[in-house]
Chain A
Amino acid sequence: DAGVTQSPTHLIKTRGQQVTLRCSPKSGHDTVSWYQQALGQGPQFIFQYYEEEERQRGNFPDRFSGHQFPNYSSELNVNALLLGDSALYLCASSSIAGGGNEQFFGPGTRLTVL
């Protein structure tokens, strides 16, 4: 099991563009959470998906949206990119049956907005 995988590893975009990041959860996991980690900061919760629905959302604007597929993989979409969106985007998966308490993190996607 490769654990949580994310693609791409790095991405460079310009202001105003749109971006899609992808995440495959750890085998056996059904819940995916997305976090944004700016330089020198801890991860900040964006939202969580379970059963293809957004279950909880953090303090992020509607420009941030997501999707979960029937195979539990997930996408994070960011529209109208701003310079401040430059960050490491982390995906974490967990299992509802396992209590959902332990989240396993992926390696992240480094997004640079120019």
Chain B
Amino acid sequence: AQRVTQPEKLLSVFKGAPVELKCNYSYSGSPELFWYVQYSRQRLQLLLRHISRESIKGFTADLNKGETSFHLKKPFAQEEDSAMYYCALRRIGAGSYQLTFGKGTKLSVIP
């Protein structure tokens, strides 16, 4: 079975400081990794996925298969980045459609 671990429940950084939200996964096959974000009083929404290899709102994430990690990074945090962040995994192929989520990390950007 697959598992997603987000070791930090809460991460506080100052505005302008770099941010790294950690995500580790366990799955023996080929995974597809995602980062979802939930801003205050808003619904869960996709931030980025490793397949697209794009930068969204200044965030990037690289899939490291050797370390089974998919950390989310941003060089300079902004106050509007304060939100709940969830890392999620989907098994590629084998007719698997479910997302397996981590428990989430609450990012607080201090002005």
Contact = CB atoms under 8 A, between A and B. Distances in A.
Contact of B46 (A3, A35, A102): A102
Interface in A60-114: 90, 92, 100-108
B56 to A, nearest CB: 13
Contacts of A18: none
Interface string B72-111: 0000000000000010101000011111111110000000
Interface string B42-57: 0111100101000000
A90 B4 CA distance: 19
Interface size class of B (residues with CB under 8 A): 20 to 34
B43 A33 contact: no
A42 B97 contact: no
A67 B58 CA distance: 40
B103 A41 contact: yes
B103 A48 contact: no
A45 B99 contact: yes
A9 interface: no
Closest CB pairs A-B (n = 5): A42-B101, A45-B98, A105-B44, A42-B103, A107-B43
Given A56-B97, A100-B97, 16 more contacts: A3-B43, A4-B43, A33-B97, A42-B4, A42-B102, A42-B103, A43-B86, A43-B99, A45-B98, A48-B98, A90-B44, A101-B90, A102-B49, A105-B45, A106-B43, A107-B43
19 contacts: A4-B43, A33-B98, A35-B99, A42-B4, A42-B86, A42-B101, A42-B103, A55-B97, A56-B98, A100-B97, A101-B51, A103-B46, A103-B99, A104-B46, A105-B36, A105-B43, A105-B44, A106-B43, A108-B43
Interface of A: 3-4, 31, 33, 35, 40-45, 48, 55-56, 58, 90, 92, 100-108
Interface of B: 4, 32, 36, 43-46, 49, 51, 86, 88, 90, 95-104
